[in-house]
C-alpha cells in the first residue's frame, strides 16, 4: 500500500501563494462573500501561515503553506460521530460531504485548523459555473471540507496505471499545489517507495513536522530553511 | 367511571407500557449495531464496549423496574375488583 | 459500491470521479453541476490541453489550459515554456474568472450619458467601425492625423504594440504611447550605456546579489521567471550559497526570502549606492581594469575646450562618505561598510535596482548610481554579471508606407512628453500628456484610443486625466470590462480576453534569453467581441490607401504567422518541447544552438502552436564594445547624452546663458549643478516636511496592477500573507503604531496634503519605522461587481509627483500622517 | 366546570390549590412564554433556511452559544435527580418537600439540553445518520447514549413517586379524571402496592446517581478528548460534575423561592430547607473554586506555551471581563453571602443562587470560546460575537424550561403530598427509632 506524503522545502518556498490559488481552482472551493470573509469564514484548503521571528531590523519571516496534514494518527477522524471523515487504506483523510452532519467536531479536534465549514450555501454566478472542475464534487451548505491531496487525481492515475498494468510512477500523481509551485518547493509522492524523491527528502536532516509532540504523525513534512 | 372507559384506559396503559419496551429494545439494538460498525472500522473497541456495557444494562434495569411496578400494581387492583363484585 | 462507481464513471466518461474519495462517492453524482450531467449524457467528456500565454500581467508566462468538452476548467503552468517552466502565480490561476466574468462587455457600446455616467446603449460593429473610420478619415483629410492619440496600457512586449505603432505611423500620428512604459524604465541604461534595453542578470553564476529595492520576486517584469531562477540557484548552490541582500523600506516578498534585509528611508537609495561606491573606491575593491578600459568620466577629465570636469570618483569621494550617507539614508555606517566589502570581495557580484529605488522623483539618478556600481564591479560581458539578450529572429513588419499626410502628421511633436514637448530622453509621461491635452499644447487631441490598462486608476493625476478625457471629442476604448477609464469612452469596442485571442510575445524584459510565445485562442469567443488587432486592420482598410497598405494582413493570426516564418527560416533556437525538460541550460549548451529540424513551415507552425513557443538560450558572443552604444563607446559615468540633451533644451530657451540653464534645470527639478547634473548623484526628494511619515505602496502577486480586482478568487486571497480578504490594509511598524496609539486591526485615517483614506492597520515589524506601506490594487469605483467598492486606492492620496527625467510616477515621494479612526 | 372539586378540607390544601384554581397570572405567564418560544422557533427556521451562517461563529471559533448552552442546561439537570436521590438514600427527612421539584427540573432541562447539539448541526436533516452510521468512538455518541439513559431514568424516577399523588387527583374527579387514572396505573394505596413502589424507588435512586455523574463526565469528555490546549485535561470530568451540581442546586433554590412566593408554600418550604440547601451550595462553591484553582495552577505552573497563550487570553483577552465576572459570581458573592449569617436570608440566598447560575454559564463560555479563539497554528486570533439568532434560541430554551415547570405545576402537585403525609404518619416514629438505634444501648427491635 502506498503512503502518500508531501514534502515542503521552506528553503525554496518564497511564499508566493500560488498553491492557494491552484488549490481553489482545482477543487471548486467556494468563494464567500466579502462580508462573510470579514467574519473570518474564508475557505482555503491550502493556507499560508506567517511567523515573525527576531528583532527589527534582523527579522526572519517564516512563511509556509499549510494543507491538511493527513495525519497517520488523525485526531479528527476519531471524533466524527458519523464516520464522515475517515482515513482510507492509503492514509488519505477523506471527507464524505453528503454524510457529514455538520457538528464541526472534527474542526475543533484538528490541532492544525486544517478544516473549513460551509457556513452558507456556496454560490457562484452562473458564468463561473461553467468552469467547475468536473472531477471534484461541489460541497453543500453545512458540511465540513478540507484538502484531499487532490485524491480525485489519484483515482485517474490509478485507472491509467491499471489500464496499462503498471505501478504508479513517482511524480505521476501530484496535487494541484505541488504541480504548479513556481519554486518546486512542494514535492509529493509515496513514502513507502524507497526510490521516490519524497522518501529521500523526508530523511534529510532539515526535515521536521508541525507539532510532532502531539503524536499526530503528519504526512506533510517540512524542510527547514538553510542558514 | 364506566367500565368502557376503564377498558380504554387499561388498553392505553398497556400500549404505553409496550411502547416503553420497544423504545428500550430499539436503543439496545442501535447500540449493538454501533458496536458492530466500530468493530468493522477497527475503532477503539474498548471505548465502544465500555459505553455499551454501561448503557445496555441501565436501559434493561429501567425497563424491568417499570414492568415490575406495572404488574405489581395491576395484580393488586384485580383482587380489588373481585372484592367489589361481591 | 464499486459497481455504482463504475456506472458513474461511465456517466461522466473521460472525466472520472466526482467521487471525492472512499467508497461513498457514488451518491455524489447529485453534486455534479447540471451542465456536466448533460454533457455526460451527450457522450464522453473529452479532456484536452491547450498551450497559450497568460495575459493577466506582462510577465508572459506560458500556460496550459485544461478543457473538458472544449470548456476550460483548469489552468496550470506550461512545464515546457522556458520563462516559467510550469510555474504560475496566483493571478494566473484566476484567469478563468476573467474569461467567464459576469461583468464582461458583450457587444460594442455607445455612451449615452455624460462621461463617467456609465449609461450605455448597444451598437452594431459595422456602425461603430464606420463611425470611427469616418472620423479618422475626416481628421486625416484636414491634416489633423497627429491629433489622434493611442494610449496602450497593456505593458506587454507583444506584437500588438508593434501592430498599433505600425497603424499609427501609417495613419500619421506620433502619439502612440505605452503607459506604464518600459522605455521609461530603461532611461538610466540609455544615459549610461546608450542602449534602451533592460538588462538581464546572470544569477546562476554570481556569488552575491545586492538589490536596491528591486522586488523581482513580486513586482519584477517576470516574477515567476525569477522565482524559478532563485530556487534553481538554491538547488545548485547547496554548499556555497549565493547571498541575497535586499535594501528596501518595506520587507517585500523578495526581502523575506533574502539572506538579509536592510531597511532604508524611501527615496535615498541613490545615496546609499554612492556610499557603497565610496567604499569600493576607497578600499580599491572595484574592477580597476574594466573601469580604466571601458568607462568614461571616472577620473576627473579635461574636454576639448580645456575645461576640467568632475569625475565620478572625486564626486563620490567628496560627497558620499559613510557618515554623510547614513545621515541621509538612515542606514548605519557599519552596515554600509559591510555590504560594500561583501560586494567587493565576493565577485562576481551583482547589483540590481528597481521599484523601490526607481519609483521616485529621483528614480533615474538613483538607478544611474546603482547601475554604476555594476560598472565599478566590471559586471559587463562576463559570467555572473549582467547582459543584454539578442532580438529573436522575427520578421519585421513590412516598412510603413507614409503618404504625405502621414509624413506631415508624424513630423509633429509628440504630446506625451515632459515640460517641453521635444525632450527626447523620456518616452511618455501621463502627467505632461494630460497637461498638454488640457492646454491644447501644442495642438488639441481629437481622438484617443485606449487599449487595456486603466490609467484613471493607476495615475497619480486622475482628476486632471478625467478632465482631459472629457475634453477629447472622441474616446474609443478596446476593453473587455468597464473600467474607471473606459467609463469615459464614447465608444467601447469589446476586446477578447486573452484566452480567446491571438497574440505573440517576445523577449519579456530582463528574462535572460531569446524567446517567443504564441498566445492563441483556447475557446471560441463567448460573446460578440473582436480582437483589437483585427479591428485596427479593418479600420486601416476602411481608411484605405497607404494605411491599409501598411497592414497587408487578412487578420492578426496571419500577421503572427508571417513574423514566425522568419524564425523557421533562420533555423535558430528550438521550439520548446519535451526534450528540453529538466536541466535545460546545460542541455542546449552541449546540443549546440539548434535543436530539431522541421520539414515545412506548416509543421513548424503546428509544433510551435502545440507547444506554445520558441526560444534560444544561447547568447551570441558580444564584445564589450557593442554593449555600449554611447558616443564614447564606453560606459559613461558622466552621461554625455544627458549633457547634450540638456544643452538642447537650454538652447531652445534662446541662448546658452546661465539663467536659461538654471531655468531648464529647475524645470527638470534637478537641484544639482555643474557636472554633478550629468553624473550619478543623490537628488533629495521634495517632500512635505510637516508630514511625519512616508507612504510607500507595493504590488502583490495576487493583483499586480489592480487588473485582478474583478476576480473574486484574487479578491479573496488579495492579502493572503496577512489573512486580509477583499480589503486594503496599511502596514505599520510597532514603534510607530505605539506613537499614534494604534493597535493591530484598528482602522486608521491616512492623510496626505492631497486627501485622506480610511483603512485597516496591520502592526508588524516588516516595515521600517515612520513608513506606512499600503498594497496597491483595490479601491475601484468601477470595474464590475467584484472590484467596485472594495478596499481603497493608495494612489488617491499620493501627490502628483513625477521623475521629470523619465516621466515615471513617484510612488514613494508622498509624506503622510495617520490617526486612529473613530 | 361541572361541580367544584372539594379539597379545601384537605390537610394539604395549599398543595392542591394551584391545580384547581387558575389565576390570571397563569395565563399571562404562559402567553408571554409562548410568544418567546414562537420567536425562537422563527429564528431557528431562518437558521435552517440560510444555514449556520446566521450565527456569529467562524472558521476558527466553530463552536459557540449552542454548545455552551448545551453544557449549561445539562449541568442544571444535575440538581434534581442527583440531590433527591442522595437525600432519599441518606433518608434525610427534610428532603420530603424538595425532591419532587428537583426531579421536575431535571426532566425538563435534560430534554432542552439534549436538543441543543441538534441546534448546532449544520445539517439537522441528516441527524439520523448517527443511527445508520454512527461511530461509538466519538465522544458525541457517548453523550447521545448517556443522555438518553439519564433522561429515561430521571423521567421514570420522577414518575414513579408521583403515582400516589396522581391517584389522589384521580379520586378527586373532575374533567381530567381519565388522564389521571391513565397515569395512576390503578394505584389504590394498598400495602402491596406501597411495597412495590418503595422497592422500585429504592432501586432507581441507587441507579440514578452513577448515571447522573457519568453523564456530565462524558460531556466534559467532548472537550478533554481533543488535543486543544485548555481542554485536554484529566480534571475535566469531576470539574464538570461539580460545576453541574453547583449550578443545579442554585436553580433549584431559585425555583423553590419563587414557587414558595407564588403558590404560598411558606408552610412547606420552611427556612430550614433553604438553610440546609444553601449550605450545600456553599460547599459546592468552595469545591468549584478548588477545581478551578487546580486547573489553572497546573496550566500556569507547567506553562506550556499554548496553554499559557490561552490562560493569558482568558485573563487579559477580549473575554477577560467574563472570566473575572465568573470568579466574582461563582465564588466571591456566594461565599460572602452564604458564610455570613446575617446575609443568609431567603433574599440573600436568592441573590447568591442567581449569581451562581449566571457565573456557571460564564464558566462554560470561558471553557468553550477562548480555546477555539487561539488555535495552535499561528492564525489571526478570531473573535466571537453571538448573533441575534443565537441569543433568541438561548432565550427560547429558558422559556421552554419555565413553561414546562409552570404547566407541570398546573397538573401535578409541586410537593409530593403522600411523602409529606408519610412523613407525618411514619417519619417521626421512624426517625425516633433510628436515632435510638444510633445511640448506645441494646438494640430496640427496629424492623
Residue B13 lies inside a defined structural domain of this protein: yes
Whether A125 sits inside 8 A of C102 (CB atoms) is yes
Residue B10 lies inside a defined structural domain of this protein: yes
Cβ contact C458:C434 at 8 Å: no
**CA pair distance B59, D149, nearest whole angstrom:** 7
Residue with cell 436568592: D350
Dihedral angle sign, alpha carbons of residues D332, D335, D339, D341: positive
Assess whether pLDDT exceeds 90 at residue C114: no
Higher-pLDDT residue of A3, C15:
A3
Q: What is the DSSP letter of C719?
A: B
Which triple of cell numbers denotes residue C468? 482631459
Q: Would residue A124 be called left, alpha or beta, if left means φ above 0 and alpha means ψ between -120 and 50 degrees?
A: beta
| Residues of chain B contacting residue A78, judged by C-beta atoms under 8 Å apart | 43-44
Whether B55 sits inside 8 A of D192 (CB atoms) is no
| Cα dihedral value D438, D440, D442, D446, nearest 10 | -10
Residue of D142, D152, D178 lying closest to B5 (CB–CB): D178
- C642-699 residue pLDDT tens: 998 888 888 888 888 888 888 888 888 889 998 999 999 999 988 888 899 999 999 9
- pLDDT band for C589, please (50, 70, 90 cuts): low
Stretches where chain D sits below pLDDT 50 are: 1-2, 446-447
Dihedral angle sign, alpha carbons of residues A76, A77, A79, A80: positive
The alpha-carbon gap from A174 to the nearest alpha carbon of chain C, in Å, equals 12
Q: Per-residue DSSP letters for C366-410? A: HHHHHHHHHHHTT-BSSTTSEE-PPPP-PPPPPPPP--HHHHHHH
The alpha-carbon gap from D64 to the nearest alpha carbon of chain C, in Å, equals 22
- Tell whether D377 is within 8 A of chain B (Cβ): no
| Residues of chain D contacting residue A49, judged by C-beta atoms under 8 Å apart | 377-379
Chain B's closest residue to D197, CA to CA, is B69
Q: What is the DSSP letter of D269?
A: S
Whether A83 sits inside 8 A of D117 (CB atoms) is no
Whether D227 sits inside 8 A of A51 (CB atoms) is no
| Residues of chain B contacting residue A83, judged by C-beta atoms under 8 Å apart | 37, 41
Residues 160-219 in C contacting A (C-alpha not used; CB under 8 Å) = 217-218
| Residues of chain A contacting residue B44, judged by C-beta atoms under 8 Å apart | 78
Residues of B with CB under 8 A from a CB of D: 1, 5, 9, 12-13, 23-24, 27, 30-31, 33-35, 37-38, 41, 43-44, 47-48, 51-52, 54-55, 58-59, 61-62, 65-66, 68-70, 72-77, 80
Question: Residue C421: its pLDDT value, please?
Answer: 52
Chain D's closest residue to A76, CA to CA, is D226
Chain A's closest residue to B44, CA to CA, is A78
Higher-pLDDT residue of C381, A22:
A22
Beta bridge partners of C616: C514
| Residues of chain A contacting residue C765, judged by C-beta atoms under 8 Å apart | 52, 55-56, 59
Q: Which of C614, C584, C703, C585 is nearest to C223 (CA)?
A: C703
Q: Going by beta carbons, is chain B in contact with chain C, meaning 3 or more pairs sit under 8 Å apart?
A: no
Residue B85 lies inside a defined structural domain of this protein: no
| Residues of chain D contacting residue A112, judged by C-beta atoms under 8 Å apart | 376-377
Whether D140 sits inside 8 A of A81 (CB atoms) is yes
Picking from D47, D123, D134 by the largest number of A CB atoms within 10 A of its own CB, the best residue to mutate is D123
| Residues of chain A contacting residue C73, judged by C-beta atoms under 8 Å apart | 131-134
| Residues of chain A contacting residue D141, judged by C-beta atoms under 8 Å apart | 81
DSSP element (H, E) containing D23: none
Residue of D138, D372, D378 lying closest to A49 (CB–CB): D378
- B19-52 residue pLDDT tens: 989 999 998 888 888 888 888 777 766 766 777 6
**CA pair distance C787, C711, nearest whole angstrom:** 8
The C-alpha angle with vertex A54 and arms to A50 and A60, in degrees rounded to 5, equals 50
- C532-564 residue pLDDT tens: 999 999 999 999 888 888 989 999 999 999 999
Question: Residue B76: its pLDDT value, please?
Answer: 52
**What CATH number has the domain spanning D63-100+136-377?**
1.20.1630
pTM: 0.89
The mean pLDDT value for C739-760 works out to 93
**CA pair distance A4, A190, nearest whole angstrom:** 5
Q: Which chains touch A (3 or more CB pairs under 8 A)?
A: B, C, D
Picking from B30, B36, B41 by the largest number of A CB atoms within 10 A of its own CB, the best residue to mutate is B41
Residue B55 lies inside a defined structural domain of this protein: yes
Question: Residue C595: its pLDDT value, please?
Answer: 55
Residue of A79, A108, A210 lying closest to D372 (CB–CB): A108
Q: What is the DSSP letter of A137?
A: P
Q: What is the DSSP letter of C594?
A: B
Question: Residue C14: its pLDDT value, please?
Answer: 39
**CA pair distance D222, B12, nearest whole angstrom:** 40
| Residues of chain B contacting residue D153, judged by C-beta atoms under 8 Å apart | 58, 62
In this complex, how many residue pairs, one in chain A and one in chain C, have their CB atoms less than 8 Å apart? 231
Question: Residue C21: its pLDDT value, please?
Answer: 35
- Tell whether A86 is within 8 A of chain B (Cβ): yes
Cβ contact A188:A198 at 8 Å: yes
- Tell whether D155 is within 8 A of chain B (Cβ): no
- pLDDT band for C347, please (50, 70, 90 cuts): confident
Assess whether pLDDT exceeds 90 at residue B11: no
- pLDDT band for B8, please (50, 70, 90 cuts): confident
Residue of C96, C261, C768 lying closest to A131 (CB–CB): C96
Domain that holds residue B56: 2-80
Whether A119 sits inside 8 A of D57 (CB atoms) is yes
Contacts of C742 by beta carbon, 8 Å cutoff, 6+ apart: C732, C748, C761, C763, C818, C820
- pLDDT band for C594, please (50, 70, 90 cuts): low
Whether B73 sits inside 8 A of D187 (CB atoms) is yes
In the sheet that holds C243-247, the strands lie side by side as: C260-262, C243-247, C208-212, C349-353
- C266-314 residue pLDDT tens: 999 999 999 999 999 999 999 999 999 999 999 999 988 888 999 999 9
- C516-527 residue pLDDT tens: 999 999 999 999
Whether C217 sits inside 8 A of A14 (CB atoms) is yes
Residue of D117, D144, D226 lying closest to A109 (CB–CB): D226
Number of domains in chain B: 1
- Tell whether A83 is within 8 A of chain B (Cβ): yes
The alpha-carbon gap from D36 to the nearest alpha carbon of chain A, in Å, equals 26
- Tell whether A184 is within 8 A of chain C (Cβ): yes
Residue with cell 534582523: A58
Q: Per-residue DSSP letters for D91-147? A: T-GGGTTTHHHHHHHHHHHHHHHHHHHHHH-S-GGGTTHHHHS--TTSHHHHHHHHH
**CA pair distance D313, D228, nearest whole angstrom:** 14
* Mean pLDDT rounded to a whole number for chain C: 86
Chain C's closest residue to A37, CA to CA, is C725
Chain A's closest residue to C97, CA to CA, is A128
Which triple of cell numbers denotes residue C64? 496550459
| Residues of chain A contacting residue D134, judged by C-beta atoms under 8 Å apart | 81-83
Domain residue ranges of chain D, discontinuous segments joined by +: 19-56+387-414, 63-100+136-377
Assess whether pLDDT exceeds 50 at residue C10: no
Assess whether pLDDT exceeds 80 at residue C147: yes
| Region of poorest pLDDT, from A110-119, C444-453, C663-672, D323-332 | C663-672
Cβ contact A51:C721 at 8 Å: no
The alpha-carbon gap from A128 to the nearest alpha carbon of chain C, in Å, equals 6
Whether A96 sits inside 8 A of C24 (CB atoms) is yes
Picking from C256, C260, C326 by the largest number of A CB atoms within 10 A of its own CB, the best residue to mutate is C256
Q: Per-residue DSSP letters for A106-132? A: HHHH-TT---EE--S-----HHHHTT-
Beta bridge partners of C64: C51, C76
Question: Residue C480: its pLDDT value, please?
Answer: 92
- A133-178 residue pLDDT tens: 888 888 999 999 999 999 999 988 888 888 888 888 888 899 999 9
Contacts of B26 by beta carbon, 8 Å cutoff, 6+ apart: none
Q: Would residue D303 be called left, alpha or beta, if left means φ above 0 and alpha means ψ between -120 and 50 degrees?
A: left
The alpha-carbon gap from C242 to the nearest alpha carbon of chain A, in Å, equals 12
Q: What secondary structure, in 3-state letters, does C80-123 show?
A: CCCCCCCCCCHHHHCHHHHHCCCCCCCCCEEECCCCCCCCEEEC
Cβ contact D329:D356 at 8 Å: yes
Q: Which of A146, A124, A123 is nearest to A136 (CA)?
A: A146
| Residues of chain A contacting residue C68, judged by C-beta atoms under 8 Å apart | 134
- pLDDT band for C30, please (50, 70, 90 cuts): very low
Amino acid at each position: 500500500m502506498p503512503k502518500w506524503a508531501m514534502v515542503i522545502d521552506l528553503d525554496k518556498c518564497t511564499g508566493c501563494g500560488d498553491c492557494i490559488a491552484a488549490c481553489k481552482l482545482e477543487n471548486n472551493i467556494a468563494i464567500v462573500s466579502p462580508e462573510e470573509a470579514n467574519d473570518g469564514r474564508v475557505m482555503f484548503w491550502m493556507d499560508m501561515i506567517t511567523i515573525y521571528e527576531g528583532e527589527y531590523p534582523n527579522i526572519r519571516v517564516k512563511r509556509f503553506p499549510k494543507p491538511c496534514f493527513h495525519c497517520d494518527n488523525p485526531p479528527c477522524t476519531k471524533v466524527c460521530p458519523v464516520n464522515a471523515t475517515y482515513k482510507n487504506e492509503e492514509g488519505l483523510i477523506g471527507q464524505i460531504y453528503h454524510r457529514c452532519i455538520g457538528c464541526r467536531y472534527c474542526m475543533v479536534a484538528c490541532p492544525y485548523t486544517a478544516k473549513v465549514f460551509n457556513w452558507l450555501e456556496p454560490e457562484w454566478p452562473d458564468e463561473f459555473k461553467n468552469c467547475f472542475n468536473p472531477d471534484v464534487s461541489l460541497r453543500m451548505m453545512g458540511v465540513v471540507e478540507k484538502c484531499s491531496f487532490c485524491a480525485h487525481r489519484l483515482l485517474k492515475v490509478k485507472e491509467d496505471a491499471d489500464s496499462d498494468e503498471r505501478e504508479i510512477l513517482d511524480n505521476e500523481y501530484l496535487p494541484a499545489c505541488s504541480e504548479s509551485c513556481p519554486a518546486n518547493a512542494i514535492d509529493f509522492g509515496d513514502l513507502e517507495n524507497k526510490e521516490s524523491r519524497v522518501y529521500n527528502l523526508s530523511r534529510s536532516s532539515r526535515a521536521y513536522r508541525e507539532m510532532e509532540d502531539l503524536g499526530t504523525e503528519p504526512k506533510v513534512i517540512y524542510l527547514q530553511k538553510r542558514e | 367511571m364506566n367500565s368502557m372507559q376503564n377498558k380504554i384506559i387499561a388498553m392505553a396503559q398497556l400500549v404505553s407500557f409496550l411502547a416503553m419496551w420497544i423504545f428500550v429494545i430499539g436503543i439496545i439494538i442501535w447500540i449493538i449495531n454501533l458496536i458492530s460498525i466500530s468493530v468493522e472500522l477497527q475503532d477503539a473497541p474498548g471505548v465502544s464496549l465500555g459505553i455499551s456495557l454501561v448503557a445496555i444494562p441501565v436501559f434493561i434495569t429501567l425497563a424491568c423496574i417499570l414492568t415490575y411496578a406495572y404488574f405489581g400494581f395491576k395484580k393488586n387492583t384485580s383482587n380489588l375488583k373481585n372484592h367489589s363484585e361481591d | 459500491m464499486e459497481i455504482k462507481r463504475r456506472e458513474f464513471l461511465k456517466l461522466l466518461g473521460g472525466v472520472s470521479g466526482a467521487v471525492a474519495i472512499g467508497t461513498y462517492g457514488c451518491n455524489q453524482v447529485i453534486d455534479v453541476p447540471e451542465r456536466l450531467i448533460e454533457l455526460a449524457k451527450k457522450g464522453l467528456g473529452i479532456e484536452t490541453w491547450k498551450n497559450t500565454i497568460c495575459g493577466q500581467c506582462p510577465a508572459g508566462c506560458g500556460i496550459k489550459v485544461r478543457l473538458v468538452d472544449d470548456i476550460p476548467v483548469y489552468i496550470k503552468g506550461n512545464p515546457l515554456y522556458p520563462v516559467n517552466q510550469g510555474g504560475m502565480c496566483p493571478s494566473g490561476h484566476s484567469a478563468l474568472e476573467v474569461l467567464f466574468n459576469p461583468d464582461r462587455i458583450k457587444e460594442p457600446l455607445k455612451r449615452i450619458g455624460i462621461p463617467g455616467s456609465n449609461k450605455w446603449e448597444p451598437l452594431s460593429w459595422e456602425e461603430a467601425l464606420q463611425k470611427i473610420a469616418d472620423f479618422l478619415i475626416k481628421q486625416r483629410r484636414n491634416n489633423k492625423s497627429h491629433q489622434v492619440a493611442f494610449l496602450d496600457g497593456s505593458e506587454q512586449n507583444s506584437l500588438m504594440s508593434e501592430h498599433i505603432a505600425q497603424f499609427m505611423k501609417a495613419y500619421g500620428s506620433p502619439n502612440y504611447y505605452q503607459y506604464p512604459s518600459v522605455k521609461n524604465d530603461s532611461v538610466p541604461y540609455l544615459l549610461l550605456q546608450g542602449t534602451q534595453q533592460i538588462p538581464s542578470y546572470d544569477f546562476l553564476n554570481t556569488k552575491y546579489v545586492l538589490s536596491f529595492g528591486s522586488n523581482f520576486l513580486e513586482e519584477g517584469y517576470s516574477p515567476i521567471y525569477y522565482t524559478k531562477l532563485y530556487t534553481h540557484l538554491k538547488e545548485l548552490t547547496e554548499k556555497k550559497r549565493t547571498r541575497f541582500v535586499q535594501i528596501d523600506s518595506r520587507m517585500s516578498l523578495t526581502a523575506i526570502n533574502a539572506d538579509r534585509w536592510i531597511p532604508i528611508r524611501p527615496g535615498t537609495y541613490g545615496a546609499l549606492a554612492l556610499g557603497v561606491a565610496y567604499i569600493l573606491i576607497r578600499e580599491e575593491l572595484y574592477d580597476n581594469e574594466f573601469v580604466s578600459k571601458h568607462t568614461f568620466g571616472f577620473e576627473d577629465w579635461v574636454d576639448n575646450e580645456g575645461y576640467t570636469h568632475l569625475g565620478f570618483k572625486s564626486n563620490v569621494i567628496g560627497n558620499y562618505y559613510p557618515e554623510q550617507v547614513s545621515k541621509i539614508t538612515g542606514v548605519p555606517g557599519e552596515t554600509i561598510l559591510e555590504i560594500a566589502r561583501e560586494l567587493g570581495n565576493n565577485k562576481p557580484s551583482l547589483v540590481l535596482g528597481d521599484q523601490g529605488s526607481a519609483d521616485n522623483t529621483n528614480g533615474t539618478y538613483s538607478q544611474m548610481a546603482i547601475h554604476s556600481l555594476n560598472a565599478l564591479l566590471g559586471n559587463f560581458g562576463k559570467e555572473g554579471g549582467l547582459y543584454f539578450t539578442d532580438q529573436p529572429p522575427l520578421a519585421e513588419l513590412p516598412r510603413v508606407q507614409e503618404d504625405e499626410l502621414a509624413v506631415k502628421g508624424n513630423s509633429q511633436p509628440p504630446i506625451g512628453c515632459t515640460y517641453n514637448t521635444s525632450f527626447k530622453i523620456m518616452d511618455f509621461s501621463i502627467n505632461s500628456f494630460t497637461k498638454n491635452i488640457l492646454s491644447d499644447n501644442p495642438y488639441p487631441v481629437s481622438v484617443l484610443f485606449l487599449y487595456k490598462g486603466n490609467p484613471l486608476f493607476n495615475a497619480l493625476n486622475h482628476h486632471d486625466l478625467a478632465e482631459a478625457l472629457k475634453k477629447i471629442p472622441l474616446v474609443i476604448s478596446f476593453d473587455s470590462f468597464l473600467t474607471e477609464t473606459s467609463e469615459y469612452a464614447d465608444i467601447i469596442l469589446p476586446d477578447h480576453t486573452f484566452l480567446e485571442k491571438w497574440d505573440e510575445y517576445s523577449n519579456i524584459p530582463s528574462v535572460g534569453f531569446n524567446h517567443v510565445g504564441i498566445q492563441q485562442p483556447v475557446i471560441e469567443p463567448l460573446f460578440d467581441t473582436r480582437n483589437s488587432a483585427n479591428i485596427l486592420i479593418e479600420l486601416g482598410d476602411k481608411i484605405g490607401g497607404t494605411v491599409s497598405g501598411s497592414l497587408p494582413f487578412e487578420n492578426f493570426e496571419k500577421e503572427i504567422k508571417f513574423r514566425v516564418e522568419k524564425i523557421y527560416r533562420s533555423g535558430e533556437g528550438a521550439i520548446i518541447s519535451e526534450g528540453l525538460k529538466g536541466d535545460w541550460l546545460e542541455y542546449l549548451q552541449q546540443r549546440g544552438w539548434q535543436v530539431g529540424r522541421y520539414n515545412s513551415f506548416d509543421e513548424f507552425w503546428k509544433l510551435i502552436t502545440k507547444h506554445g513557443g520558441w526560444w534560444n538560450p544561447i547568447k551570441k558572443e558580444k564584445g564589450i564594445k557593442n554593449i555600449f552604444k554611447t558616443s564614447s563607446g564606453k560606459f559613461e559615468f558622466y552621461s554625455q547624452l544627458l549633457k547634450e540633451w540638456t544643452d538642447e533644451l537650454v538652447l531652445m530657451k534662446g541662448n546658452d546663458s546661465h539663467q536659461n540653464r538654471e531655468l531648464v534645470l529647475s524645470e527638470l527639478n534637478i537641484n544639482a549643478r555643474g557636472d554633478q547634473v550629468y553624473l550619478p548623484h543623490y537628488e533629495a526628494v521634495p517632500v512635505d516636511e510637516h508630514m511625519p511619515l512616508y507612504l510607500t505602496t507595493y504590488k502583490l502577486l495576487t493583483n499586480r496592477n489592480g487588473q485582478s480586482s474583478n476576480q473574486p478568487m484574487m479578491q479573496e486571497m488579495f492579502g493572503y500573507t496577512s489573512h486580509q480578504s477583499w480589503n486594503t490594509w496599511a502596514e505599520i511598524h510597532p514603534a510607530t503604531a505605539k506613537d499614534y496609539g494604534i493597535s493591530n486591526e484598528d482602522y486608521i485615517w491616512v492623510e496626505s496634503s492631497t486627501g485622506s483614506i480610511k483603512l485597516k492597520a496591520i502592526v508588524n515589524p516588516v516595515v521600517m519605522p515612520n513608513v506606512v506601506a499600503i498594497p496597491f490594487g483595490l479601491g475601484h469605483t468601477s470595474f464590475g461587481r467584484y472590484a467596485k467598492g472594495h478596499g481603497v486606492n493608495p494612489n488617491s492620496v499620493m501627490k502628483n509627483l513625477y521623475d521629470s527625467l523619465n516621466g515615471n510616477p513617484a510612488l514613494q515621494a508622498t509624506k503622510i500622517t495617520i490617526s486612529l479612526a473613530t | 366546570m361541572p361541580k367544584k372539586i372539594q379539597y379545601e378540607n384537605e390537610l394539604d390544601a395549599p398543595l392542591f390549590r394551584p391545580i384547581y384554581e387558575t389565576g390570571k397570572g397563569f395565563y399571562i405567564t404562559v402567553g408571554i412564554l409562548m410568544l418567546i418560544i414562537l420567536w425562537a422557533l422563527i429564528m431557528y427556521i431562518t437558521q435552517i433556511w440560510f444555514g449556520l451562517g446566521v450565527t456569529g461563529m467562524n472558521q476558527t471559533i466553530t463552536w459557540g452559544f449552542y454548545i455552551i448552552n448545551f453544557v449549561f442546561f445539562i449541568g442544571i439537570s444535575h440538581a434534581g435527580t442527583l440531590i433527591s436521590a442522595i437525600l432519599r438514600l441518606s433518608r434525610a427527612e427534610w428532603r420530603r418537600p424538595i425532591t419532587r421539584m428537583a426531579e421536575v427540573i431535571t426532566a425538563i432541562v435534560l430534554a432542552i439540553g439534549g436538543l441543543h447539539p441538534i441546534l448546532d448541526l449544520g445539517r439537522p436533516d441528516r441527524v439520523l445518520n448517527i443511527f445508520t452510521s454512527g461511530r461509538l468512538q466519538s465522544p458525541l455518541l457517548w453523550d447521545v447514549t448517556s443522555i438518553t439513559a439519564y433522561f429515561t431514568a430521571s423521567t421514570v424516577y420522577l414518575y414513579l413517586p408521583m403515582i400516589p399523588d396522581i391517584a389522589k387527583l384521580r379520586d378527586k374527579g373532575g374533567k381530567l379524571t381519565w388522564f389521571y387514572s391513565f397515569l395512576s396505573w390503578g394505584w389504590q394505596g394498598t400495602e402491596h402496592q406501597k411495597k412495590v413502589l418503595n422497592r422500585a424507588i429504592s432501586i432507581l435512586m441507587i441507579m440514578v446517581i452513577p448515571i447522573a455523574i457519568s453523564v456530565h463526565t462524558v460531556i466534559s469528555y467532548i472537550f478533554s478528548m481533543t488535543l486543544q490546549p485548555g481542554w485536554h485535561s484529566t480534571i475535566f470530568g469531576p470539574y464538570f460534575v461539580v460545576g453541574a451540581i453547583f449550578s443545579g442546586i442554585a436553580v433549584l433554590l431559585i425555583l423553590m423561592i419563587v414557587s414558595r412566593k407564588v403558590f404560598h408554600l411558606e408552610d412547606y418550604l420552611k427556612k430550614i430547607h433553604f438553610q440546609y440547601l444553601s449550605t450545600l451550595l456553599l460547599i459546592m462553591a468552595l469545591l468549584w473554586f478548588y477545581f478551578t484553582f487546580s486547573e489553572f495552577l497546573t496550566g500556569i505552573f507547567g506553562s506550556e506555551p499554548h496553554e499559557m497563550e490561552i490562560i493569558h487570553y482568558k485573563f487579559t483577552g477580549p473575554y477577560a471581563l467574563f472570566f473575572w465576572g465568573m470568579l466574582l459570581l461563582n465564588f466571591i458573592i456566594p461565599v460572602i453571602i452564604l458564610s455570613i449569617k446575617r446575609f443568609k436570608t431567603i433574599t440573600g440566598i436568592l441573590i447568591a443562587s442567581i449569581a451562581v447560575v449566571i457565573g456557571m454559564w460564564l464558566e462554560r463560555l470561558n471553557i468553550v470560546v477562548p480555546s477555539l479563539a487561539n488555535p495552535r497554528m499561528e492564525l489571526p486570533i478570531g473573535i466571537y460575537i453571538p448573533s441575534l439568532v443565537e441569543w433568541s434560541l438561548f432565550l427560547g430554551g429558558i422559556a421552554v424550561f419555565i413553561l414546562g415547570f409552570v404547566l407541570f405545576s398546573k397538573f401535578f402537585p409541586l410537593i409530593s403530598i403522600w411523602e409529606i403525609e408519610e412523613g407525618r404518619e411514619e417519619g417521626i416514629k421512624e426517625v425516633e427509632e433510628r436515632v435510638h438505634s444510633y445511640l448506645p444501648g441494646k438494640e430496640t427491635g427496629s424492623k
